[in-house]
Amino acid sequence: MIATIILAIGFALIIEGLVLALAPSRIEEMLALLASLSVESRRLIGFAALVLGVALLALARALGA
Q: What is the mean pLDDT of each run of 10 residues along the chain (65 residues)?
A: 87 92 91 94 96 90 82
Kind and range of the H or E element at 34? helix 24-36
How many domains does one find in the chain? 1
Specify the pLDDT at position 13: 94
First to last CA, the chain: 12
Are 26 and 19 in contact, with CB atoms under 8 Å apart? Answer: yes
CA distances from 63 to 14, 35, 40, 56 (A): 24, 38, 34, 10
Specify the pLDDT at position 65: 57
Specify the pLDDT at position 40: 96
Domain extent at residue 43 = 2-62
Full-prediction pTM beyond 0.95? no
